[in-house]
Structure 1
Amino acid sequence: MSLLFSACASQGPAIESPVVEISSIELLELNLRRQTFRLHFDVANPNPFPLPVKSVQYTVFLESRQFASGETGSRFTVPARGESTFDISVDLDLMSTAASFASLLRSGTSRPIPYQVNGSVAVGIPFTPPLRFTQDGTILVR
């Protein structure tokens, strides 16, 4: 019986992980107590069928330092071999992050900043584990 299940599982289509990139980072608020950023993400689906995304777990590094992590609660569908977007807001405590990101805020609009985003995408396809992703790139802070 288990041989039958493993044979059926190997016959099913392999699901490729989506490509998740940061398209922009926007500084929304900067005051003495906190910084608020909006991160815009692009998601590309390499599969020949739509990906119904239930959530995205992510960790973002800027200049090799952890900038943000969490999980989205919004659901969306990425079309077959197509693209979609999602946004998240990030609140940082200025007192605890001032030293780490002061140079980032000063130079982020004048030079590209290296980033890495990694995590997993939970999809609404039965028996499919979360799809892992990792992407490196550069971005300007607006």
Structure 2
Amino acid sequence: MLKYPALPALRTFCLFILLLTCFSCGKLLKQPEVHINSVQIKKIKNLEAVFRLNLEVYNPNIVPFNIKHIEYDVEMEGQHIASAVSDEKVSIPIRGAALVPLEVHSNSFDLISAIIKAFIPGSKNGNKKIEFKINGKILLDGIFYGTNTISFSSSGNLLEKFGRPKEQ
């Protein structure tokens, strides 16, 4: 006979509360911030343009996570120039940031026509910027995140993003 008959019920209740708390952690976590850090042209040859796009991913949470997979689309001056995926694994530290390098392959005709479009006399940009945008989904993996997909969108002036990755 049990000395404390309510003990099994209390254990079950405590386990239930613990599981409920763990499952709600994913809802309490903030979504990571994603920005274009820099763009570097690797080569333009024949009909192919290859450039490296560095995304800066910031984790505002008190738990780290890993990026397992990224799918993304790249636009320049409102014109779609590339779609790609990356399976490079990147760890994002607690309340820290990391650069995620993406290699973009595009038809050089699409790329050049988007750049020319930006510099047409009388364009809305006044020849001072090339609008650049990336949209995508990141597959996260972490203890508290579980396997979770987040969407992101980042845009900016391509002329400001050319060169080496900026300090984080």
TM-score for both structures, normalised by structure 2: 0.65
Structure 2: stretches of 5+ with no match in the other structure? 1-15, 121-126, 164-168
Q: Which position in structure 1 is the counterpart of 2:155?
A: 136
Deviations 1:96-128 (A, max 9, x none): x26633417979xx8432222222211113644
> How many angstroms does 1:129 deviate by?
2.4
Deviations 1:7-60 (A, max 9, x none): 556632423221111112112212333222111111111111111111122222
Report the AA paired with residue 106 of structure 2: L
Q: Which position in structure 2 is the counterpart of 1:11?
A: 24
**Contact kept? 1:20, 1:43, Cα under 8 Å:** yes
| Counterpart-to-counterpart distance in 1, 2:152 and 2:100 | 16
Report the AA paired with residue 101 of structure 1: A
Which of 21, 32, 36 is 2:35 aligned to? Answer: 21
Larger deviation, residues 116-125 vs 69-78: 116-125
Output aligned runs, 1:10-49, within 5 Å.
Answer: 11-13=24-26, 14-49=28-63
> How many angstroms does 1:136 deviate by?
2.8
| Counterpart-to-counterpart distance in 2, 1:134 and 1:28 | 23
Q: Which position in structure 1 is the counterpart of 2:11?
A: none
Question: Which structure has the larger Rg?
Answer: 2
> How many angstroms does 1:71 deviate by?
1.6
Report the AA paired with residue 59 of structure 1: D
**Contact kept? 1:54, 1:123, Cα under 8 Å:** yes
Higher helix share: 2
| Counterpart-to-counterpart distance in 2, 1:67 and 1:47 | 33
Higher strand share: 1
Report the AA paired with residue 137 of structure 1: G
**After the TM superposition, which segments of 4 or more aligned residues of structure 1 sit over 3 Å from their partners?**
4-11, 104-107
TM-score for both structures, normalised by structure 1: 0.75
Change (3 A) 1:136 1:93: closer
| Counterpart-to-counterpart distance in 1, 2:129 and 2:108 | 22
Secondary structure at 1:136 match in 2: strand
Q: Which position in structure 2 is the counterpart of 1:103?
A: 116
Aligned length: 136
Q: Point out which structure has higher relative CO (alpha carbons under 8 A, 6+ apart).
A: 1
**Contact kept? 1:61, 1:115, Cα under 8 Å:** yes
